[in-house]
Structure formats: C-alpha cells, structure tokens
Amino acid sequence: MTTRIVAVGAVLTDGEGRVLLIQRRNPPQAGKWTVPGGKVEPGESIEAAVAREMLEETGFHVEVGELLWTVDIPGPDDVVFEVHDFAARIVSGTLCAGDDAVDAGWFTAEDLTELPVTRGLLKHLRKHGVLG
C-alpha cells in the first residue's frame, strides 16, 4: 500500500531574475539543489509549513503567496511525496543555510544548467514563468 507524505516548498525570486535554492543534505535526492521546503507536521497547515521550512532552511521569514504547482514525487519503500510549491515573499531575515540545507543561494536560469537540481525542477520553474 502506498504511503502519501504531504510536503511543501517555496519559490522565491529576487527581482533580478534569480531564484533561491537550497542544496539538500538528506535523502531523497541528497546533494541536489531545489526550492526550500519539507514535510508538513501533524496539525500544521500547509501555509504554516511553508513559513516554518523557509525559516529553518534559509533564515528568512516569508509571506506565503499563491500555490504554483503540486507534484507527486516517488520515494523509497512505496512512499509518494505530495509536494505543494508556493510563491513566497521575503519579509525579513538573512540568508543562512540550516536544517536540511547544506548550502543556499540565488541562481539565474543559466546557473541552473550547471547545477545538479532535483528531477523536474527546471521544467516547473520554466512552465510557471519563474525562469525565462
């Protein structure tokens, strides 16, 4: 039987054509770059999870915006991660990788062609107009 785990992510841009990504510390896809995010905790709203994960992984307090996309990502042992990625805007804080993030930074579309990114990330960023 498949186990579904609800997770979230946040898509932040800086107004200069760059998107904020973190490098994952833990499986699945450890070492790959992706948008900050993680699992929704029991009793937590999806929007609250986005704000918490952003603070934990990037040091930024954010305002959560609209849902951009939802994707199912197969995991090990018959697990499927149901990931809801939202637009977000930085309210305060200083960029500092933490929790599941080994590193964090701002990247252009050109930069992303040189990085090992998570499966499907570039497609979704382009499809939803985040990258040109």
CATH of the domain at 94: 3.90.79.10
Does residue 132 form part of some domain?
A: no
Read off the pTM.
0.91
Per-residue model confidence (pLDDT) at position 29: 84
Per-residue model confidence (pLDDT) at position 132: 62
Number of domains in the chain: 1
Does residue 105 form part of some domain?
A: yes
Does residue 44 form part of some domain?
A: yes
- Domain extent for 11: 3-127
The pair of structure tokens assigned to 110 is 């050109």
Q: What is the mean pLDDT of the chain?
A: 93
Which ranges constitute the DSSP H helices of 12-113? Answer: 46-58, 109-112
Does residue 114 form part of some domain?
A: yes
- Of residues 65, 113, 88, 79, the one with CA closest to residue 6: 79
Residues of the chain with pLDDT under 50: none
